[in-house]
Structure 1
Amino acid sequence: MIVGVSGASGSVYGIRLLQMLRRMDVESHLVLSNSAQVTLGHESEVTVDALKAMADFSYAQADIGARIASGSFKTLGMVVAPCSIKTLSEIATGVTSSLLTRAADVALKERRRLVLMVRETPLHLGHLRSMAAATEAGAIVYPPVPAFYAKPASLEEMVDHTLGRVLDLFGLESESVRRWDPR
């Protein structure tokens, strides 16, 4: 699984996703945008080096020759957690300027699952059009909206439930989802 972390607020999603994949014994390939490295420092006690160590493999943003930039490298797909509007827009247009967006473009062209955890609000028409274009290209736009029916007792439970639902899209069971049951 490729994990992209962009500079949007919500670096906790990328951190927890890598931890969950490790616990599930799913090989992870991490690429961080330059802005993600800055945001990580503002939002978390986790350092860039510590985040990279959570992944099985990590790649520099400028390494466009990396394995994850090629369709011949087989993956389950990719999650961008969190996904900035800039990253979304590059993916939606196919005009990629970094390894993160190139890897997402490869996922789309190879018809692999691509989930974009877009973190922005409020949204203007340009944002919505980029989301529509990404969806038309085959991506799944998945803003990390909390499910309050799960009655999360902590921020960690809220994040884990959301990521569990993302992993459901890949057929991976994380055991962090409290399934809806009205009884």
Structure 2
Amino acid sequence: MHEPPTVSPRRRMIVGISGATGIIYGLHLLEALSRLDIESHLVITKAGERTLSYETDHTVREVRAMADHWYSDADIGAAIASGSFRTMGMVVAPCSVRSLSAIAGGGTDGLLTRAADVCLKERRRVVLMFREAPLHAGHIRAMAQATENGAIVLPPVPAFYDRPQSIDEIVNHTVGRVLDLFDVDAGLVRRWSGRPEPAADAVERLPEPLEETMPCR
């Protein structure tokens, strides 16, 4: 007698929002996951909630409603704190210095860092959108240690080759590149296909060759 086929579970992604500036990256990531029908599991630290109020007009309740499931950072018994809870992995967007350092050192002082540590021990992908500049040696060592543990440190550095016209376009491109790391094409990235030809008006504005403008000596 044949057993019934196993139904593939819906894909799940953990989203962590810490207290660094750049809350917009986490919000756009939640929106992208919803469009892609990827089940989102959200945890926001207390510092993240505070930064949210500084940088946006959204309330914590509104952001929680953007996710399929949300958890308090103090809830260390949540589903995402266990390796038996299967997920695609986790993105911390944005990732503060404190969260990066805790994840790099295996510290689990809250659910966000615990969930990241669980994903790493289960060999699942963890992407840390580390938002800090300039960097001192301690930051660089923490990034190296997190990378050695299996995480991917992806500072949200904007790309300008696609000539973005708005902040949303800049943010979406970076979010799309983050999802690329999970082999998910969100349709947010304008792919590089080689050096584009300059526009006609740009050609007219090009400066004269340097050797022709230098005075004779």
TM range (shorter): over 0.9
What is the aligned partner in structure 2 of residue 36 from structure 1? 48
Equivalent in the alignment of 1:58? 70
- State the secondary structure of the residue aligned to 2:132: coil
Percent sequence identity is: 62
Selected match of 2:169 from 126, 143, 157: 157
Q: 1:50 offset after TM fit, Å?
A: 0.3
Q: 1-side partners of 2:179 and 2:105: how far apart? A: 25
After the TM superposition, which parts of structure 1 deviate over 2 Å for at least 4 consecutive aligned residues? none
Q: CA deviation at 1:93?
A: 0.2
Gaps of 5+ in 1: none
- SS for the counterpart of 1:150 is coil
- Say if 2:109 is the partner of 1:97: yes
1:67 to 79, 97, 109: 79
The structure with the larger Rg is 2
Residue of 113, 122, 128 corresponding to 1:116: 128
Alpha-carbon distance in 2 for matches of 1:141, 1:53:
27
Q: What is the distance in 1 between the residues matched to 2:162 and 2:142?
A: 30
Q: Distance in 1 between matches of 2:89 and 2:107?
A: 19
- TM-score, length basis structure 2: 0.84
Aligned length: 183
Of 61, 83, 88, the match for 1:76: 88
Whole-angstrom distance in 2 between the partners of 1:143 and 1:113: 16
Q: Which residue of 2 aligns with 1:47?
A: 59
Q: Deviations over 1:116-168 (max 9, x none)?
A: 00000000000000000000000000000001112111000000000000000
One-letter amino acid matched to 1:181: S
- Where is the helix percentage greater, Structure 1 or Structure 2? 1
Measured in 2, the distance between the counterparts of 1:54 and 1:152 equals 26
Larger relative CO (CA 8 A, sep 6+): 1 or 2?
1
Q: 1:126 aligns with which of 138, 158, 163?
A: 138
3-state SS of the aligned residue for 2:187? coil
Secondary structure of the 2:157 match is: coil
Report the Cα offset of residue 81 of structure 1.
0.1
Question: Residue 136 in 1 paired to residue 145 in 2?
Answer: no
Q: Give the structure 2 partner of residue 17 of structure 1.
A: 29
CA positional deviation for 1:181: 1.5
1:169 to 181, 184, 196: 181
